[in-house]
């Protein structure tokens, strides 16, 4: 890989956009060449219009970049989209039509039948949808690949090895999601402190659908949704980062907690085999302690890209229960999208 690929970020000033910038500023394969944001920011220095939230300083060089308009005139081949959902739909299509590879963190195209909803560890074969996507939409070079909602990542990664080994009949999940998931300014401190907000708009619906698409089967033409139901309770808790989820699942074939742990430990999916730059080693961290994973202690595992699981035990109502946790703005957003791009690049699926 002689030269680095030129990439841009759409929605670069938001919380997820900043995570893209943080991760791309020093990436071995990608060169951060363009930052796009709203019209009020366009034409100004990134350092002047972006209220930088990560605790690390803004990467040197980035502050002086001039924010551009969100239009397919950016000087790059790949764009990462951190656009808000209502804007993302048409803008991402315009970029793809203009020949850009679009890796989107937005929800707009996740349910499109011809758009891969991708976790590289889980369903890399779904990338084959792109052939039909281009054909149907008349795009010759560009395409859209999406990553799932943050809370869906932690659940799906934990379920994938279980589904493969034992099958799934139903899943009940209750989430405790960090504040950064609501963006910035996001949740007012007067609502967050000493409180839990037992509702996140649209989240339960996403969590009921997205894992079933990712764990579904590509049949040559499209993806058949996995044949199990998911019921979700979504809650916002006063932690900064990290989504923790309690999960109960009914299986097609019986499994002991120890067998679940074994399939998790044995899991070595494609990005780890390919040793992609952003792929955590291992993908799944199995905690043995009775009170782990915890958001503060485990969200940064694998530089924020590992999913941590633990507390597997029999469920009195379904078959097994356990907990799963991951970093919502890294594994659950910007890092997920970058890993998607790395996978395609490593597999030669793009002709950049």
Per CB under 8 A, residues contacting a second copy are: 15, 53, 55-57, 170-172, 174, 176, 179-180, 184-199, 208, 229-231, 233, 235, 237-240, 244, 246, 248, 250, 290-297, 300-301, 310-311, 315-318, 321, 323
| Among 50, 109, 126, 243, the one annotated catalytic | 243
DSSP letter string, 81-146? E---HHHHHHHHHHHHHTT-EEEE-SSTTTT-TTS-B--TTT-GGGGGHHHHHHHHHT-SS-EEEE
H or E segment at 266? helix 257-266
Give the CA dihedral 96, 99, 103, 105, nearest 10 degrees: -30
CA dihedral for 192, 193, 195, 196, sign (positive or negative): positive
Residue 315 catalytic? no
Min. distance of Cβ 16 from a second copy in angstroms?
A: 13
Using the minimum distance from each CB to a second copy, give the nearer residue, 96 or 325.
Answer: 325
Min. distance of Cβ 167 from a second copy in angstroms?
A: 15
Which residues lie closer than 8 Å to 251 by C-beta, 6 or more apart?
A: 162, 166, 167, 168, 169, 319, 320
Min. distance of Cβ 95 from a second copy in angstroms?
A: 29
| Among 150, 234, 315, 327, the one annotated catalytic | 150
Min. distance of Cβ 242 from a second copy in angstroms?
A: 8
Min. distance of Cβ 1 from a second copy in angstroms?
A: 30
Using the minimum distance from each CB to a second copy, give the nearer residue, 14 or 271.
Answer: 14
Using the minimum distance from each CB to a second copy, give the nearer residue, 133 or 308.
Answer: 308
CA dihedral for 278, 201, 117, 155, sign (positive or negative): positive
Using the minimum distance from each CB to a second copy, give the nearer residue, 132 or 186.
Answer: 186
Using the minimum distance from each CB to a second copy, give the nearer residue, 272 or 294.
Answer: 294
In the block, tokens 């951190």 appear at: 82
Angle at 339 between CA 118 and CA 16, to 5 degrees: 90
CA–CA separation, 160 vs 247, rounded Å?
13
Contact yes or no for 74/99 (Cβ under 8 A): no
Structure tokens at 155: 């659940």
* Catalytically annotated residues: 150, 243
């Amino acid at each position: 890989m002689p030269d680095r690929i030129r990439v841009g970020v759409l929605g670069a000033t938001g919380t997820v956009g900043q995570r893209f910038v943080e991760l791309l500023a020093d990436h071995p394969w990608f060169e951060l060449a363009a930052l796009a944001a709203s019209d009020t920011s366009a034409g100004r220095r990134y350092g002047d219009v972006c209220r930088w939230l990560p605790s690390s300083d803004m990467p040197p060089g980035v502050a002086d970049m001039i924010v551009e308009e969100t239009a397919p005139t950016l000087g790059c081949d790949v764009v990462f989209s951190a656009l808000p959902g209502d804007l993302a739909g048409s803008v991402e299509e315009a970029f793809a039509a203009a020949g850009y590879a679009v890796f989107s963190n937005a929800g707009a195209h996740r349910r499109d039948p011809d758009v891969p909803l991708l976790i590289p560890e889980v369903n890399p074969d779904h990338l084959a949808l792109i052939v039909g996507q281009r054909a149907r939409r008349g795009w010759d070079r560009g395409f859209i690949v999406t990553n799932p909602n943050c809370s869906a990542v932690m659940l799906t990664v934990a379920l994938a090895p279980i589904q493969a080994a034992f099958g799934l009949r139903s899943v009940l999940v209750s989430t405790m999601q960090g504040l950064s998931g609501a963006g910035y300014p996001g949740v007012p401190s007067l609502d967050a402190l000493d409180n839990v907000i037992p509702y996140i708009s649209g989240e339960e619906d996403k969590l009921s659908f997205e894992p079933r698409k990712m764990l579904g089967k590509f049949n040559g033409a499209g993806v058949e949704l996995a044949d199990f139901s998911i019921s979700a309770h979504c809650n916002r808790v006063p932690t900064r980062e990290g989504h923790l989820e309690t999960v109960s699942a009914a299986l097609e074939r019986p499994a002991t907690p120890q067998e679940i742990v074994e399939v998790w430990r044995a899991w070595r999916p494609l990005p780890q085999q390919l040793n992609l730059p952003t792929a955590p080693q291992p993908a799944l961290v199995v905690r043995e302690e009775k009170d782990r994973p915890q958001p503060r202690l485990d969200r940064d595992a694998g530089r924020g890209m590992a999913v941590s699981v633990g507390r597997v035990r029999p469920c009195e109502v379904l078959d097994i229960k356990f907990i799963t946790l991951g970093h919502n703005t890294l594994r659950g957003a910007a890092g997920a999208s970058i890993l998607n791009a790395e996978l395609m690049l490593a597999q030669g699926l793009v002709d950049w």
